């Protein structure tokens, strides 16, 4: 009985050690660009660059998944293009991620436009473009 109590106490002490909390980087800025100019509307078939600037709060070593998603009214949104980027940032460091894509459909009917979603794999958190136009991208 005494041995069992000692074993339980030892496990309790070992499990009480401090655990390092990992914070997801913050999204400092996200925007759309066509031919070097920031835009909120673009034409179908034109190359669009999605830019995302992230900043590490704490050390972040892992992947960041950048998704360009189609925004459908009254339906499920869908991934249009996905890029996984390995990231190794110390606290306070910034990184710009760029994803180039060519939209294939105009904003009409159910398709309202496109938005950016960022998944931070290590912390299992995500960031999504605000649900308005702009900053979401409309297509003509």
Instruction: Give 121's pLDDT tier (boundaries 50, 70, 90).
Output: confident
Domain count, the chain: 1
Q: Residue 8: its pLDDT value, please?
A: 60
pLDDT digits (tens, 9 = 90+) for 11-30: 554 455 444 556 889 999 99
Q: Residue 23: its pLDDT value, please?
A: 81
Yes or no: say if 78 and 72 are a contact pair by the CB < 8 Å rule: yes
Yes or no: say if 34 and 47 are a contact pair by the CB < 8 Å rule: yes
17 within some domain: no
Domain range for 66:
22-139
Q: Residue 1: its pLDDT value, please?
A: 61
Residue 106, both tokens: 């105009």
28 within some domain: yes
Write the CB contacts of 111 (distance below 8 Å, at least 6 apart in sequence).
70, 71, 72, 73, 105, 139
Task: Report the percent of the chain where pLDDT is more than 70.
Answer: 84
State the CATH number of the domain containing residue 104: 2.60.40.10
Burial 105-133, CB ≥16 within 10 A → b, else e: eebeeebbbbbbbbbbeeeeeebbbeeeb
Residue 87, both tokens: 């990231």
111 within some domain: yes
The CA distance from 104 to 63, in Å, is 27
Q: Residue 76: its pLDDT value, please?
A: 93
Mean pLDDT, residues 115-129 = 93
Q: Residue 115: its pLDDT value, please?
A: 97
42 within some domain: yes
127 within some domain: yes
99 within some domain: yes
The DSSP element (H or E) to which 58 belongs, if any, is none
1 within some domain: no
pLDDT digits (tens, 9 = 90+) for 24-60: 899 999 999 999 999 999 999 999 999 999 999 989 9
66 within some domain: yes
């Amino acid at each position: 009985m005494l041995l069992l109590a000692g074993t339980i106490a030892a496990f309790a002490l070992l499990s009480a050690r401090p655990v390092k909390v990992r914070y997801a980087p913050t999204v400092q800025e996200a925007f759309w660009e066509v031919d070097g100019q920031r835009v909120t509307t673009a034409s179908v078939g034109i190359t669009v660059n999605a830019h995302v600037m992230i900043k590490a709060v704490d050390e972040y070593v892992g992947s960041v998944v950048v998704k360009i998603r189609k925004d459908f009214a009254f339906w499920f949104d869908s991934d249009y293009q996905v890029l996984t980027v390995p990231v190794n940032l110390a606290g306070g460091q910034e990184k710009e991620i760029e994803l180039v894509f060519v939209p294939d459909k105009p904003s009409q009917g159910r398709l309202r436009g496109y938005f950016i979603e960022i998944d931070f794999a290590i912390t299992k958190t995500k960031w999504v473009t605000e649900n308005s136009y702009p900053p979401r991208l409309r297509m003509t």
